[in-house]
Structure 1
Amino acid sequence: MSVLFENYGKRRAQIVKGQGTIVEDSTGKQYLDFTSGIAVVSLGHAHPAVVQALQEQSQKLWHISNLFEIPGQEKVAEKLIANTHFSHAFFCNSGAEANEAAIKLARKHTGKHHIITFEKSFHGRTFGAMSATGQGKVHNGFGPLVEKFSILPFNDAATLEATVDDSVAAIMLEMIQGEGGVNSVSAEFAAAIAKVCEEQGVLLIVDEVQTGIGRTGTRYAFEQTVLKPHIVTLAKGLGGGFPVGAMLGTAELHATFSPGTHGTTFGGNPLAMNVAQAVLNHVFEPDFLQQVREISAYFVAQLRAHLSSSYTVQGQGLLLGIGCGDTEVAPYIAAAEESGLLLVGAGPTVIRLLPPLTVTKEEIDKAVAILKNILP
């Protein structure tokens, strides 16, 4: 009998160590980790630069609180906003916290409360982020949600255009719905969002908690579209495994978050900032991002060459999905684990593929061979 709450559906394997894409369980069995801690371990497990950054900072200063200047925050913020239209950053500890900050900022800045989100979206499990999430299973049992969220069909421009009016503070969306099925924003929908935001003076919040920090082959996934969000939220890959979240915003929003309006005890602490800086030093290099795009193209080509045409391959970069029609994927994920490949679902009928951004062609070949063996 465990002394833990049983709010997670635990796997059988107990992972005790990892290096790069390979992890090992308590019995000594090794696996290819194509979950990356759900898009977190961007540079693989125990990357030397990340380990060094953590060790060096741990010997200097762990925590001082945001009552004091933390120089690492300025350094990481400068990297995140460089060559973008953003001007400022706020640091926290997770994606849910980043999204809560974004919701608060949008409401306070506009003086409006109505926020539009989309079906099958996932923005977190705190009350504001949960209310923004377009999945009933996340809401069930928790009573009244935060008011003034309208959840619309995804990639439905006509419904969006008919709904947005001068009561709307913001539109909030993911460029790829990771939890909801690896569903990408269409070019037409992106154009419609850009148009209504411009015409109605609506803020655009893009949740890049899963897609950001190189996961789709560019620094941020929105960079592959016409969209220029006012707010972007980040987490997961930013810390390479260390808890850190961030919110980026444009210059017009700066004065809205004045002293005392929002805060966090642990957010942006020296440990997190030193690790994030080490991650960004690698991931934001143009050659590294080009490598992600190339390895993604190879991965997609191998999947399409070796899997039955009854399966669809969707997503971008190294956030990919295998659509299995109406078939539940849980048995496939369990079979893959038995064969030495760790996977995660994206809704009930899609297998999500999230290897570290450093994954090799040889590791992809091994993963595809396992997938080919377990998928009928």
Structure 2
Amino acid sequence: MSLFDVYPLYDVTPIKAQDVWVYDATPTKYLDLYGGHAVISIGHAHPKYVENLTKQLGDIGFYSNAVKNPLQVALGEKLPLQANCPGYQLFMCSSGAEANENALKMASFVTGRKKVVAFHNSFHGRTSAAVAATDNPKIVAPINAQQEVEFLPLGDLDALAAVLAKGDVCAVIVEFIQGVGGLDISTAEFYEGVDKLCKETGTCLIADEVQAGFGRTGNFFAFQEYNVEPELISMAKGMGNGFPVGGILIHPSIKAEYGMLGTTFGGNHLACTAALTVLEVLEEEDLMAHALRVSDHFKAKTTEIPQIKAVKGRGLMLGIEFDFDTAALRKKLIYDQHIFTGSAKNKNLIRILPPLTVQNEHIDQFFEALKIELNNL
């Protein structure tokens, strides 16, 4: 085998996708309620997305950041306005891990400090500082472990206050809805308290919106459910609808200097076109409001399944929790019911992260399939 074998793979080979559907060569049609880790935001092969990227590729697909790129300027103007983050400045990269890596680096530059606070069950990426801030020792190599990171319980303001009082923390990084960890959410009091403590101690607050951003929760960013103002906002996944795009929004109080950050592929012409198209479709099709409506329908349907012990998350970033390991159930959903869902660090949880174009009828299909497979267990 020539591929480095680090992924356990399901025996499914997609060759085509359209909106919420994925097709293999047989052809079997699969309902995609996972969106490739929350990446597909406006639906697979959205006509406007295909048209815009095809045209851009015919003009120019890439050149380096050593020259002017009007598409970057357009995105830098449109994104903060549409996201209701006026005044924030955009730096682009190519993935969520890179976004968090650059956010952590920027926080260290700004504060002159190097320690990071993260929270239990966090996931922030697989690069150097980002993986050190991820609460999974199995994926942290010794070279990453030299980073100074302290993990605290999500929701414990007293513990955070005690750590920040020492004055050596550059950043507190938090997912306002935990993704890989299992869709856990703390309280408004906690999140707003974190922001207040960060402001009082000169610590940068990093909102990790890599999975939750771009309308998935019904807000543009998950942190906007609360009265907080992060210094840095990281994003990726749904930003490009499948094209590798990432970035950070940087608070206007932070001043740029040449050489602070850099990237080869970030902000290329195709990436900017992908992100601009996602913003356009989100607005034109009112997908954030749609996500909340479908979410309400989803939550109502869960009441028909007595085996569901808890419903977690918000918008179309959802989890349903059982009192057993769901690995076998997820396999049955894929192979017998032809529905993609996601797992989490919490083995009893199924993650639901569909394209934001998903409809109530697709949710109904999922719950009918779930009833069948639960009865067969």
Give TM-score, length-normalised by structure 2.
0.95
Q: CA deviation at 1:311?
A: 2.1
Work out the CA distance in 2 between the residues paired with 1:103 and 1:143. 17
Report Cα offsets for 1:275-325 as digits up to 9, x if no partner: 11011012145833211111111111112x221154211100101001123
Q: 1:10 corresponds to which residue?
A: 9
Give the structure 1 partner of residue 202 of structure 2.
201
Asked whether 1:320 is paired with 2:321, we answer no
**How far is the alpha carbon of 1:195 from its aligned partner?**
2.1
Matched, 1:114 2:112: no
Structure 1 residues 46-87: Cα deviation after superposition (integer angstroms, max 9, x where no partner) = 110110111010000011100011111111121221132442
- In structure 2, the residue matched to 1:277 is 276
Of 55-64 and 308-317, the range deviating more from structure 2: 308-317
Q: 1:112 & 1:314 partners in 2: Cα distance?
A: 35
Which residue is equivalent to 2:327? 330
Distance apart, 1:375 and its partner CA: 2.9
1:83-94 to 2 correspondences below 5 Å: 83-94=84-95
Supply the AA of the counterpart residue of 2:253: E
Change (3 A) 1:48 1:219: same
Further displaced range: 352-361 or 190-199:
190-199
Whole-angstrom CA distance in 1 between matches of 2:99 and 2:295: 28
In structure 2, runs of 5+ residues without a counterpart are: none
- The Cα shift of 1:137 comes to 2.6
8 Å contact kept, 1:32–1:341: yes
Cα distance, 1:365 vs. partner? 0.6
2:154 aligns to what? 154
Q: C-alpha displacement at 1:230, in angstroms?
A: 0.7
Cα deviation, 1:330-371, whole Å, max 9, x if unaligned, reads 111101002111111011221100111000111111011112
Query: Helix, strand or coil for the counterpart of 2:325?
Result: coil
144 and 280 in structure 1: CA distance in 2 versus 1, 3 angstrom threshold? closer
- Contact map agreement 1:31 1:340 (CA 8 A) in 2: yes
Residues 262/289 of structure 1: CA separation in 2 closer, same or farther (3 Å cut): same
* One-letter amino acid matched to 2:56: Q
Structure 1 residues 64 and 143, CA gap change in structure 2 (3 angstroms): closer
What secondary structure does 2:145 align onto? coil
Q: Determine if contact 1:44/1:356 at 8 Å carries over to the other structure.
A: yes
Code of the aligned partner of 2:310: T
Q: Give the distance between the partners of 1:162 and 1:361, measured in 2 at CA.
A: 46
Residues 13 and 26 in structure 1, CA contact (< 8 A), matched pair in contact too: no
Residue 66 in 1 paired to residue 85 in 2? no
Counterparts of 1:28-67 in structure 2 under 5 Å?
Answer: 28-67=27-66
**Cα distance in structure 1, aligned partners of 2:227 and 2:282:** 23
Alpha-carbon distance in 1 for matches of 2:285, 2:200:
34
Match of 1:178, SS state, is coil
State yes or no: 1:295 paired with 2:294: yes
Q: 2: CA distance between counterparts of 1:271 and 1:62?
A: 5
Alpha-carbon distance in 1 for matches of 2:340, 2:309: 19
Q: Which sections of structure 1, spanning at least 5 residues, go unmatched?
A: none
Over aligned residues, Cα RMSD in angstroms?
1.5
Residue aligned with 1:313, SS: strand
Structure 2 residue 220 is matched with structure 1 residue 212: no
Amino acid aligned to 1:164: L
| 1:128/1:146 contact within 8 Å kept | no
Secondary structure of residue in 2 paired with 1:91: strand
Q: Do 1:127 and 1:146's aligned partners in 2 also have CA atoms closer than 8 Å? A: no
Moved more, 218-227 or 232-241: 218-227
Between Structure 1 and Structure 2, how many residues are aligned? 370
Q: SS at the partner of 1:331? A: helix
Paired residues of 1:85 and 1:250 also in contact (CA < 8 A): no
CA deviation string 1:17-61 (max 9, x = no partner): 111111111221111011101100111111101101110100000
* Contact 2:132–2:144, Cα closer than 8 Å, also in 1: no
